[in-house]
Structure 1
């Protein structure tokens, strides 16, 4: 056995006593400086957390705006495709009604119209003036003007 490492008695339980040394304010200053550094580190960590939180919120907001715009775009595109489909259906119907045979068939069956004969046709001369020339209305107006004056004199 090694005698130097040998422990006898209850000296194991007795702690070593270190006397309190009087020091200047340097230790307190070092402690304050170390506390300030710790506080600054904590503030930097909190600031970084806040910055990342704000950046995360802005990214989520922007993605939500993009998503809303995308859904609106999809709805507008579906509306456009529906309107185009309706437009094509209407053009097909117009082509159907543009057929002269279809029009004649409907006119004869639904409206009870009769196909005209050449003997029943009436021809007109469109070169003649339709409006008749007016008779000299100045004379009539002057006569009526004189008659009105006489009536006014008599009936007064």
Structure 2
């Protein structure tokens, strides 16, 4: 496909990319080119790299799904490291199903990345579509002397 623009050394702002929804707003930082390209339909999916919030922030700013996988789930082979212990690659798409499909293709052990996990992967698309109970939210009504009631 090609390469979209990112901020220099994947950190700092503003990026040369602009928000497709409002040119006065930031597109969200280092993986902003990937996020904007997916958001406007230039391509169906993109990859982002994250050390701090560089997948999830541009995704949220541009109204798409950004998935930051567990460290080691996706190979970082060929990625210039910012932080060996934090860098992660992940999909940026317009739907959860597309993110799951990308993760199915990306996840797994890579002998070229010593930090990639050897644990078995699952079918993320199937897992995303399974019927699960909705999340429950708890509300703390009072805190007394360090104890929660």
TM-score range, shorter chain: under 0.3
Higher strand share: 2
Higher helix share: 1
Higher Cα Rg, which structure? 1
Q: TM-score, normalised by structure 2?
A: 0.21
Q: TM-score, normalised by structure 1?
A: 0.20
